[in-house]
Structure 1
Amino acid sequence: MAGHPIPHFQNDAGHPLIEVGVKKFMCVGANAPFDHPHEFLDMGDEQEIICPYCSTLYRYNSELDAQQTQPDGCQFVVPAE
């Protein structure tokens, strides 16, 4: 997540649900070239939100930190150039 002040998450594996430790984040869909526009999502007072582009369901989990996801590996990492 280096280079992003707001956490970014991806769903290459097509998980039906991804738990995250933040309520404000960006969904990128899958990694490039299969990504979608980076969509800012804000759960507000809710515990879940669905990305309007890829339909991934994200659920807030207070036991996770900002870089963790459940299942593991759904953090978006900028490729090294």
Structure 2
Amino acid sequence: MSDHSTPHYHNQPGVSQIRVGAKEFMCVGALPPFDHPHVYIDMGASNEAVCPYCSTHYVYDASLHGGADPAECVYAAAEPATAA
């Protein structure tokens, strides 16, 4: 399975702010099964945005190159199980 072409971030730790290395991304809320509908966020000319669903405050930081601070807030979908 390939990685998402658009970065996905979550706020499972419940932090007040997540620094992200992308201006266009998806917010998934918490980790599944407690996630919310995946919300596309485009910061545009701004350097911050708030998810309209879960109110997570995202701040752009170019030095993160697509990552996040805290790093655990980067969401990676689990690989599907394969039949043996």
Global fold match (TM > 0.5):
yes
Matched, 1:74 2:73: yes
The answer to whether the 8 A contact 2:3-2:76 is kept is no
Matched, 1:56 2:56: yes
Moved over 3 A (4+): none
Which consecutive residues of structure 2, in runs of 5 or more, have no partner in the other structure?
none
Larger radius of gyration: 2
TM (norm. structure 1) is 0.92
The answer to whether the 8 A contact 2:21-2:60 is kept is yes
Structure number with the higher helix fraction is 2
The percentage of aligned residue pairs carrying the same residue is: 46
Which consecutive residues of structure 1, in runs of 5 or more, have no partner in the other structure?
none
Q: Shift in Å at residue 21 of structure 1?
A: 0.6
TM (norm. structure 2) is 0.89
Matched, 1:25 2:25: yes
What is the RMSD of the two structures over their aligned residues, measured on CA atoms? 0.9
Aligned residues: 79
